[in-house]
């Protein structure tokens, strides 16, 4: 048995809060009977739930980890007709959406799902889900530069900040840096280096929360298991 507002959220009809309002407004019925009591429960296997007279059912939720390769976009359709990450997935997963984005020239771990609440909890700034990146840049990166990144800088009117940053390897011609971010603003890693006139040659996201990219090859995907899904949401 599950609460009626959770059933509506799992069915993709509305968030729990909006679902509660649907119930109070008398828009929800169970087995033909209008339900106005918050906290009412239903059996997803036996009960028929309707909103405004339309039957709703819980959809099969999908949680996917994909190693996005360079040279594709995270949109379903691209005005330049560039390849999209959705072309790498089975056709029957037409309802999944990417959880956040990686730009065309970036690669690495990205999640896709048809669970709107899961996506919200992983992308909303208030939850601060940590993400790790391996960044290869032209030229030498210094410790003072990384200290500046962790203190935070203003770029194009917006504050950018790394939670941590360390040099993996470096010469005067090339450096490799591991960075961890919380909010994940648009192109934040690239913009941090751009602010110091450093060019990023390769950007790979290696970890989201506690889930690592691991041995997943570029262009390949796998489904997240229940333990991983719980780990991602229970830490928030």
- Tens of pLDDT, residues 34-72: 999 999 999 887 899 999 999 998 778 899 999 999 999
55 Cβ contact list (under 8 Å, min separation 6): 48, 49
Query: Rounded to two decimals, what is the model's pTM?
Result: 0.79
User: Could you tell me what percent of the chain has a pLDDT over 70?
Assistant: 99
- Secondary structure in 3-state letters for 162-222: CCEEEEEEECCCEEEEEEEECCCCCCHHHHHHHCCCCCEEEEEEEEECCEECCCCCCCCEE
Are β-strands 2-3 and 221-223 bridged in parallel, bridged antiparallel, or unpaired? unpaired
Structure tokens at 18: 């909006």
Percentages of the chain per state (helix, strand, coil), in multiples of 5: 25, 30, 45
Is residue 96 within 8 A of residue 56, CB to CB? The reply is no
Measured between its terminal Cα atoms, the distance across the chain in Å is 25
Given 103, 115, 147, 235, which residue is catalytic?
A: 103
What is the rounded (10 degree) CA torsion for 169, 175, 179, 185?
-170
Task: Judge whether 103 counts as a catalytic residue.
Answer: yes
3 state SS of 6: helix
Distance of alpha carbon 177 from alpha carbon 54, whole angstroms: 53
Q: Which tops the pLDDT comparison, 166 or 77?
A: 166
pLDDT reported for residue 236 = 47
Q: Tell whether the torsion through CA atoms of 83, 88, 94 and 95 is positive or negative.
A: negative
For residue 235, name the pLDDT band (cuts at 50, 70, 90).
low
- In the chain the domains, ranked by start, together with CATH numbers, are 2-56 (3.10.290.10), 63-126+211-234 (3.30.70.580), 130-208 (3.30.2350.10)
Cα 52 off chain centre by:
32
Is residue 14 within 8 A of residue 54, CB to CB? The reply is no
Beta bridge partners of 131: 181, 208
pLDDT reported for residue 206 = 98
Distance of alpha carbon 225 from alpha carbon 19, whole angstroms: 28
pLDDT tens figures, 8-30:
987 878 888 899 999 999 999 99
């Amino acid at each position: 048995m599950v609460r009626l507002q959770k059933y509506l959220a799992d069915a993709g009809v509305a968030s729990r809060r909006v679902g509660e309002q649907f119930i109070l407004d008398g828009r929800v019925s169970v087995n033909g009977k209008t339900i106005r009591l918050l906290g009412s429960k239903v059996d997803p296997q036996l009960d028929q739930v309707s909103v405004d007279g339309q039957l709703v059912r819980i959809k099969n939720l999908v949680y996917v980890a994909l190693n996005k390769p360079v040279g594709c976009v995270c949109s379903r359709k691209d005005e330049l007709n560039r390849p999209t990450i959705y072309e790498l997935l089975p056709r029957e997963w037409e309802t999944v959406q990417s959880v956040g984005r990686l730009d065309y020239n970036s690669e690495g771990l990205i999640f896709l799902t048809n669970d709107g609440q899961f996506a919200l909890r992983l992308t909303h700034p208030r939850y601060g889900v940590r993400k790790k990146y391996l960044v290869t840049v032209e030229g030498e990166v210094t410790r003072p530069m990384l200290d500046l990144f962790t203190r935070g800088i203003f770029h194009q009117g917006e504050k950018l900040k790394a939670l941590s940053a360390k040099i993996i390897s470096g010469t005067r011609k090339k450096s490799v840096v591991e960075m961890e971010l919380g909010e994940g603003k648009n192109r934040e890693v690239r913009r941090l280096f751009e602010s110091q006139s450093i060019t990023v040659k390769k950007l790979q996201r290696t970890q989201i929360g506690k889930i690592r990219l691991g041995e997943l090859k570029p262009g390949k995907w796998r489904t997240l298991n229940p333990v991983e899904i719980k780990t991602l949401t229970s830490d928030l």
